[in-house]
């Protein structure tokens, strides 16, 4: 039997290592804008909750505590506008990347089935399809252009990683209706939903989109970006209770449990909006500074109305851009990491410290 890894593409970030080495040789150090990993402190309210739950010697449950489920329901109603939620409509997961990669297998998707995702997309959607032996298929502007035959799972991603594009509510509504008509399950990756800048992202669970019923739709959310909790692996699903019930059964067998202290931290994070507003202010300032500097040095910014990235181009091959910026000590992600359609773009994260962002601005405009 061939190894499982033979189904997978080359891990993209390995290709960036030589450029990272070049950038690190800059006399004033590297400015790493390639990965959207938080650098700011974990909110105090979250750290207190984590520490308070540190004495947790027993096993947690896969479904999470009742308090955690209450917090997810309450946040989803308050922030997403979702209606009619109960505990059966939510499920905590061990970080959103784990969920994306293993979801097709957990849903029983297999060879002969198809999994769809945007042409420009987070590469783990494709990885999940390939791990299950399914056929990965891409779409451009709208998934409604796809042949629904054999299509079991449709990924939406708004706000988009890498482009920051936000799908309008009407487009989401039409897509949900199309998917229901053809019996296709919709998973909407909304992990950047609280980071809208020039557009207000809408959840697939908003009644104007889903018609007040959660049938056939599930939203994916994470605390990594909005609460600086990437190291906690705290994420959750909200939506169709029949789908989540099946996932809960499977995940129980796999022991996919969010650690009890992280569950307590998640409750605190979802109950506090003040730290989210403070973090948004930090990101807004960094975004404005980097955008101005990039445009002043000849870049064009496309989409980027939400998320933690600027989708930038100088109308040249992306690796040429990566190489030139690396020589200035600035590391960015090549657009082709997210599919061939990104081959003339780079993704610039604004998840560096104020000092490092300021240094990047200085180098870009020198």
Within this chain, do residues 79 and 160 fall inside the same structural domain, yes or no?
yes
At 211-245, the pLDDT tens digits run 999 999 999 999 999 999 999 999 999 999 999 99
**Domain endpoint, select from 239, 270, 301:** 270
Spatial separation of the C-alpha atoms in residues 336 and 305, rounded to whole Å: 20
Res 2: pLDDT: 67
Within this chain, do residues 210 and 243 fall inside the same structural domain, yes or no?
yes
Q: How many domains does the chain have?
A: 2
Within this chain, do residues 136 and 283 fall inside the same structural domain, yes or no?
no
97, 103 in Cβ contact below 8 A? no
Within this chain, do residues 62 and 169 fall inside the same structural domain, yes or no?
yes
At 321-333, the pLDDT tens digits run 999 999 999 999 9
Within this chain, do residues 231 and 317 fall inside the same structural domain, yes or no?
no
Within this chain, do residues 71 and 106 fall inside the same structural domain, yes or no?
yes
Spatial separation of the C-alpha atoms in residues 314 and 291, rounded to whole Å: 13
Within this chain, do residues 69 and 137 fall inside the same structural domain, yes or no?
yes
**Domain endpoint, select from 225, 255, 270:** 270
At 186-196, the pLDDT tens digits run 999 999 999 99
Task: Band the pLDDT of 13: cuts 50, 70, 90.
Answer: confident
Within this chain, do residues 94 and 174 fall inside the same structural domain, yes or no?
yes
CATH number at residue 218: 3.40.640.10
Q: Is the pLDDT of residue 3 over 80?
A: no
At 262-277, the pLDDT tens digits run 999 999 999 999 999 9
Domain residues for 334?
4-41+275-365
Res 11: pLDDT: 75
Within this chain, do residues 135 and 266 fall inside the same structural domain, yes or no?
yes
Within this chain, do residues 109 and 35 fall inside the same structural domain, yes or no?
no
Within this chain, do residues 73 and 213 fall inside the same structural domain, yes or no?
yes
Spatial separation of the C-alpha atoms in residues 13 and 35, rounded to whole Å: 9
CATH number at residue 12: 3.90.1150.10
Within this chain, do residues 122 and 245 fall inside the same structural domain, yes or no?
yes
**Domain endpoint, select from 245, 270, 295:** 270
Residues with Cβ < 8 Å from 268, sequence gap 6 or more? 45, 46, 48, 49
At 168-188, the pLDDT tens digits run 999 999 999 999 999 999 999
Q: What is the pTM of this model?
A: 0.95
């Amino acid at each position: 039997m061939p190894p499982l890894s033979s189904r997978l593409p080359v891990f993209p970030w390995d290709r960036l290592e030589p450029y990272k080495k070049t950038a690190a040789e800059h006399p004033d150090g590297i400015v790493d804008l390639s990965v959207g990993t938080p650098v700011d402190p974990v909110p105090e309210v979250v750290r207190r909750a984590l520490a308070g739950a540190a004495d947790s010697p027993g096993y947690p449950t896969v479904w999470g505590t009742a308090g955690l489920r209450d917090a997810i329901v309450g946040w989803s109603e308050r922030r997403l506008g979702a209606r009619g939620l109960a505990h059966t409509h939510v499920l905590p997961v061990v970080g959103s990347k784990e969920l994306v990669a293993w979801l097709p297998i957990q849903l029983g998707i297999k060879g002969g089935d198809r999994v769809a995702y945007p042409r420009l997309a987070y590469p783990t959607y494709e990885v999940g399809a390939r791990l299950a032996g399914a056929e990965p298929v891409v779409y451009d502007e709208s998934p409604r252009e796809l042949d629904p035959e054999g299509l079991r799972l449709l990924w939406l991603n708004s706000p988009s990683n890498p482009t920051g594009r936000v799908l309008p509510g009407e487009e989401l509504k039409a897509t949900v209706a199309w998917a229901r008509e053809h019996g296709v399950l919709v998973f909407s990756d909304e992990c950047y939903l609280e980071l809208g800048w020039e557009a207000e992202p809408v959840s697939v669970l908003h009644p104007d989109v889903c018609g007040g019923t959660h049938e056939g739709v599930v939203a994916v959310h994470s605390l990594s970006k909005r609460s600086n909790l990437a190291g906690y692996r705290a994420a959750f699903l909200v939506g169709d209770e029949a789908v989540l019930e099946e996932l809960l059964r499977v995940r129980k067998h796999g022991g996919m449990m969010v650690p009890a202290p992280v569950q307590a931290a998640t409750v605190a994070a979802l109950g506090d909006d003040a730290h989210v507003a403070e973090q948004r202010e930090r990101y807004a300032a960094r975004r404005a500074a980097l955008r101005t500097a990039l445009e002043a040095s000849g870049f064009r910014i496309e989409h980027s109305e939400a998320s933690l990235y600027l989708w930038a181009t100088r109308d040249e091959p992306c690796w040429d851009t990566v190489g030139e910026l690396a020589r200035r000590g600035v590391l960015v992600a090549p657009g082709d990491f997210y599919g061939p359609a990104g081959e003339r773009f780079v993704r610039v994260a604004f998840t560096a410290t104020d000092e490092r962002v300021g240094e990047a601005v200085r180098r870009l405009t020198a």
